[in-house]
Amino acid sequence: MYPRFRPLLRLFALLAWLPSAPLLAQPFVDLVDFPRNEANWDRFYTLESHLANRFDAVCADTLCEGDYSNLRALQLRCSVNATSGQVQACHWLFIASELQVAADTGVVLADNRRWDCPLPLGTGVAVEAFHASLERADALDVVLPGAAMSIGEAVGSCLQQTRQPERAAPAARYVDARDYPGPGQGRARFRALEQALVRGFDDICGDTFCEGEYYNLQAMRLRCSVHAASGRVGECRWTFAGSNMDVDAATGAVTVDARDWACRLPLASHTPLPLLLDTLQGPEAIYTALPGTSTTVYEGLTTCL
């Protein structure tokens, strides 16, 4: 080998080594990736699910009694100091949707909300201690070392920062489909329609809408307005939410990219509510052509989501 090529070969060898060198390691990593890439994947997502279940268990009798009764935990993300192994920051994202029928026009008004709630970590909470503390059955009552309040207290305070939705006027040309033909009389049948569509969405989302940036898309709430005198549908809106959270490797900050959608179902004008309720039933409801059209709910969602 010619001697003049040796320095060049050494340079190539150095460049090949540099990407894995400790000097290039970022100071903060996602908790999922501590102590190495995806090493904490299963344990973290199990913890996320556990905390969401605990929230669901207490919400019905507390925060979910208000205007945003379908509050749910959407995503949790935490950063870790890669050198010390201590949790740097955690953010828990929540969503809710409130839909109201405008009594004079029949327009369904969407009030979608999301809350980005930092968890009270205190100082010096090691990853193992963080997991061990929050894997308990009473996780929401836990006060982490150095924190001023429990996880549940911090989340409750965060979620109470709500804007009250405007109420529809009592005089009604249009009413909520759940209140047709009289107050509360359509609730059961409309709930059955909504559940059929949600089941259909959940079945197909993993291979369709949930393959993109917002992999955790969730169906939130469906509402339809009905002309009180004729029983014909004014419009229907279906709300959705999704998020994408990341850890800034330089600062340890948790960044949130959250979105919500209020999708109008592609109904034919003057669709009778009883016909709509009869049509959208069973496991294929999301694929069933809407009355008076050749369009399905699924096709309508593709233009919205």
Of the candidates 296, 295, 275, 294, the one whose C-alpha atom is nearest the C-alpha of residue 285 is: 296
pLDDT for res 160 = 85
Angle at which helices 297-304 and 187-205 cross, to 10°: 60
Determine the Cα–Cα distance for residues 132 and 23; give it in Å rounded to an integer: 31
Of the candidates 35, 104, 108, 47, the one whose C-alpha atom is nearest the C-alpha of residue 75 is: 47
CA angle at residue 246 from 242 to 249, to 5 degrees? 175
Q: What is the pTM of this model?
A: 0.80
pLDDT for res 9 = 40
pLDDT for res 25 = 67
* 305 residues of the chain, pLDDT tens digit each: 444 444 444 444 444 434 434 433 689 999 999 999 999 999 999 999 999 999 999 998 888 887 788 999 999 999 999 999 999 999 999 999 999 999 999 999 999 999 999 999 988 899 999 999 999 999 999 999 889 999 999 999 999 875 454 454 455 699 999 999 999 999 999 999 999 999 999 999 999 999 988 999 999 999 999 999 999 999 999 999 999 999 999 999 999 999 999 999 999 999 999 999 999 999 999 999 999 999 999 999 999 99
Bridge partners of residue 247, in order along the sequence: 254
pLDDT for res 10 = 47
122 close to 128: Cβ distance less than 8 angstroms: no
pLDDT for res 62 = 84
Pull the structure tokens for residue 58: 């207490």
